[in-house]
Amino acid sequence: MGAPNFWDNQEKAQQIIQQLKPLNALVNEFDALDASAADLNALCELCAEDASLEDDLQKELHAVEKKAAEFDLRAMFTGPQDTANAFIKISAGTGGTEACDWAQMLLRMYTRWIERHGYDVEMIDELRNDEAGIRSATLLVKGDYAYGYLQSEIGVHRLVRISPFDSNKRRHTSFAAVDVAPDIEGTINIVIMPDDLKRDTFRSGGPGGQHQNKTESGVRYTHIPSGIAAESRTERSQHKNDANAMALLKSKLYRVEEMKRKAETEKQYDEKGEVSWGSQIRNYVMQPYTLVKDVRTDTQTAQVQNVLDGEIDEFIQAFLRAKAEKEHKK
């Protein structure tokens, strides 16, 4: 940033500043934690002379422990795109309307989590089911480390409950897939050959009034060699939908290449895996008992409603710690 020609390219300069922001935040957090530890030591010395300060010491100790735990978790983000914004796509799987309703519940859960953590969110694409729920939806989550945190949610999510759509009140099992990809726009240049790209336009339908129903503002891009597709339909402007769809396609292609480099199988990518029994990463059981359990980390809680209201940090943190431990062993 101190280079004489740094501001010659305004767009590039802003991109570098955005990359620097989370790094500075991490250093500042460490400095603050170091200062808090020093204050804690000083308070310990005072407490040794005056026992009435013990309550203050306990409060301060709890606050510093919490800060240390948060910093420890943030320091685990070592991936090249962990600081990036994130695209999160939810797709209904096996189960018909039940699955579409479950996908809608997951959309609400993530929206609540996003709001609680102060991130900005933009609906990129939404395809509603005629009877209830959604067939799919894609969100762009904007904020530092959005991808770093939300990568823990990639996979199939399984719900067991008494169906609100079954007049006989029988228990049903539903599935939905969650895929998360980093927003790489402005950080990595993905080149797609024109001959490898198929572009379709379509009527948006759904919410938005007569304009969306009468004009083909929706855009879908398909990468022909891989079969990976990305679409956007929520904007009135075809130009904006076009840009959103292309950015999403590039982020998906980037993540596939990253997965190949890590020698992971193509089945792990949600669009090529089966969204059904045996492939789930997390189970949400509402009847005959209440339990949410992550099969990867064995993290569990009986507070199903709290989880569905967006309280998923326990699962995210457990996944990130397990991932960091695994990478450390390598």
Tell me the C-alpha distance between 255 and 182, whole Å. Answer: 7
Report the amino acid identity of residue 74: R
Q: CA torsion sign, 26 to 110 to 246 to 222?
A: positive
Categorise residue 58: left if φ over 0, alpha if ψ from -120 to 50, beta otherwise: alpha
Q: With bands split at pLDDT 50, 70 and 90, how would you rate the model's confidence at 282?
A: very high
What confidence score (pLDDT) does residue 262 get? 56
pTM over 0.75: no
Cβ(315)–Cβ(299) below 8 Å: yes
Q: With bands split at pLDDT 50, 70 and 90, how would you rate the model's confidence at 270?
A: very low
Q: With bands split at pLDDT 50, 70 and 90, how would you rate the model's confidence at 273?
A: very low
User: Which residues, 6+ apart, have CB-to-CB distance to 119 below 8 Å?
Assistant: 141, 142, 143, 146
Cβ(188)–Cβ(254) below 8 Å: yes
Which of helix, strand or coil describes residue 77?
coil
Fold exhibited by the domain 194-261: Double Stranded RNA Binding Domain (3.30.160)
Higher pLDDT, 120 or 274: 120
What confidence score (pLDDT) does residue 186 get? 62
10 Å CB burial of residue 133 (0-12, 13-18, 19+) is: buried
Which of helix, strand or coil describes residue 330?
coil
Mean pLDDT score, 54-60:
89
Tell me the C-alpha distance between 282 and 156, whole Å. Answer: 7
Mean pLDDT lowest among 37-46, 259-268, 320-329: 259-268
Per-residue pLDDT tens over the stretch 86-101:
999 999 987 788 999 9
**3, 159, 250, 254 from 192: Cα distances, Å:** 32, 38, 8, 11
Order of strands, sheet of 218-223, starting from the edge strand that comes earlier in the sequence? 197-202, 218-223, 228-232
Q: Judging by DSSP bridges, how do beta strands 155-162 and 280-285 pair with one another?
A: parallel
Q: With 50 as the cut, is the pLDDT of residue 202 above it?
A: yes
Per-residue pLDDT tens over the stretch 167-191:
777 888 999 999 998 887 766 667 7
Nearest-5° angle of CA 225, CA 231, CA 237? 135
Look up the CATH number of domain 86-183+273-329. Answer: 3.30.70.1660
Strand partners, 137: 90, 126
* pLDDT > 90 in the chain, percent: 32
Per-residue pLDDT tens over the stretch 59-86:
889 888 888 888 887 778 877 788 889 9
What confidence score (pLDDT) does residue 277 get? 55
Q: With bands split at pLDDT 50, 70 and 90, how would you rate the model's confidence at 290?
A: very high
Best-predicted range by mean pLDDT (116-120, 229-233, 278-282): 116-120
Per-residue pLDDT tens over the stretch 217-260:
888 889 988 888 888 887 778 888 888 888 888 888 887 877 77
